[in-house]
Structure 1
Amino acid sequence: MGKRGPAAKPVELKVLEGNRGKRPMSVNLDSTFRPEAGMPTVPKGLSPGARKVWKRLGNELLRYNLISVVHSDLFEELCETVSDVKDLRHSIRARQNLFRSQGKDPMEAFEVNSPNGLPMQHPRYQILKSERQMMLTLLAKFGLSPSEQANVQTAIRAQLQLFEGGEAGKETTSPAAPAAAPSTPRGFADF
């Protein structure tokens, strides 16, 4: 059984969002595990479809500092799951096209008859549903679901406001932010 309650937010995100609950915050930035952003090497056993996902999605995650070398196993699982979902979806679509060419209802591709003759969901469709659920869970772990994305967007806005001296909703007029003192943090990596 998993942990109870909502998933914990990173300490940096709590600091950037502010103390909305007015409760005392125990912030110890030295004790928080923050791996350095970096792209892991592509595993040798990765399927061809998962390699395409790795290249496409990995560059974007690295661009926003959302991936590290220590995330390689979880990211490999995400890429394989996305690839499997696409393959299963294409398989069901091919089955629908076959039924269309035979003049049958394409929705029959989602069902099959049991040995007793009763209609039931096609096993591929059942697998597709479970793989989609796993994919959504893994995407959320990387901050790629819509609800998690809202948190990341909030953090980026707060970071811009704190570290570039701009106001919320306004862009700074200078092309580069002035150089800060060495003890002043300039981004998440400096916490």
Structure 2
Amino acid sequence: MGKRGPAAKPTALRVLHGDRPDRINTHEPAPPMQDITCPDWASDAARAIWARLAPGLIERRVLTPWDTDAFLVLCEALARYRAATQLVNGSALLVQGGSGLMKNPALQVQADAERTFLTFAARFGLTPSDRQAIKVEVADGDHDRANRLLS
């Protein structure tokens, strides 16, 4: 059985919103500080979305090096949504099948692959809301980082 209730709020947002300190995970794993770039396997449409959304998320430390693949799935999904909207506006997303009209099977394959990836991303704490629920021991040098987060 999975986690219950709404997705947890990322720690960075908890701090910004002034949540009680006892509700903030000070032992959350922290990704390394390094440049964040769009993966080279991104489509052109996803790259345009990445260029529009990523800078603000990187600036606020919501998008980290650990999150690039999950964020690219989001960008690709939005690019596919745009393409699907254009198809619907110009024609339909139904194809002729053996028993009449049916949904294009490629759309189901895509949706299944995305769902699978996001399930695994959550299990590994690769998104901010999932990462806040993971507790790890903080090394002595990392206590300052946790205290800066809470101040």
Aligned pair in 2 of structure 1 residues 37, 57: CA closer, same or farther (>3 Å)?
Answer: farther
Deviations along 1:116-144, one digit per CA (max 9) or x if unpaired, are 4x5x45427965xx59x96xx8xxx678x
- Do structure 1's residue 72 and structure 2's residue 72 form an aligned pair? no
The equivalent residue for 1:18 is 20
Which residue among 46, 51, 62 is the counterpart of 2:58? 62
- How far apart, CA to CA, are the structure 2 residues paired with 1:124 and 1:50? 22
The aligned amino acid for 1:2 is G
Q: What percentage of residue pairs aligned between the two structures are identical?
A: 23
**TM superposition shift of 1:4:** 2.5
**Whose radius of gyration is greater, 1 or 2?**
1
- Count of aligned residue pairs for this structure pair: 124
The equivalent residue for 2:140 is none
**TM superposition shift of 1:38:** 6.1
Question: Could you tell me whether the CA contact under 8 Å between 2:94 and 2:102 is conserved in 1?
Answer: yes
When normalised by structure 2's length, the TM-score is 0.56
Aligned pair in 2 of structure 1 residues 37, 88: CA closer, same or farther (>3 Å)?
Answer: farther
The equivalent residue for 1:175 is none
The equivalent residue for 1:90 is 86
User: Mapping of 1:126-141 within 5 angstroms?
Assistant: 127=108, 130=111
- How far apart, CA to CA, are the structure 2 residues paired with 1:32 and 1:49? 33
Aligned pair in 2 of structure 1 residues 57, 37: CA closer, same or farther (>3 Å)?
Answer: farther
- Do structure 1's residue 123 and structure 2's residue 104 form an aligned pair? yes
The aligned amino acid for 1:60 is G
Aligned pair in 2 of structure 1 residues 39, 73: CA closer, same or farther (>3 Å)?
Answer: same
The equivalent residue for 2:4 is 4
Question: Could you tell me whether the CA contact under 8 Å between 1:37 and 1:62 is conserved in 2?
Answer: no
Question: Could you tell me whether the CA contact under 8 Å between 1:37 and 1:65 is conserved in 2?
Answer: no
- How far apart, CA to CA, are the structure 1 residues paired with 2:57 and 2:47? 15
The equivalent residue for 2:124 is none
Aligned pair in 2 of structure 1 residues 124, 83: CA closer, same or farther (>3 Å)?
Answer: farther
Deviations along 1:47-97, one digit per CA (max 9) or x if unpaired, are 1111111111111212332111111111121111111111222122222xx
The equivalent residue for 1:33 is 29
When normalised by structure 1's length, the TM-score is 0.46
The aligned amino acid for 2:7 is A
Question: Could you tell me whether the CA contact under 8 Å between 1:88 and 1:124 is conserved in 2?
Answer: no
The aligned amino acid for 1:5 is G
- How far apart, CA to CA, are the structure 2 residues paired with 1:44 and 1:113? 36
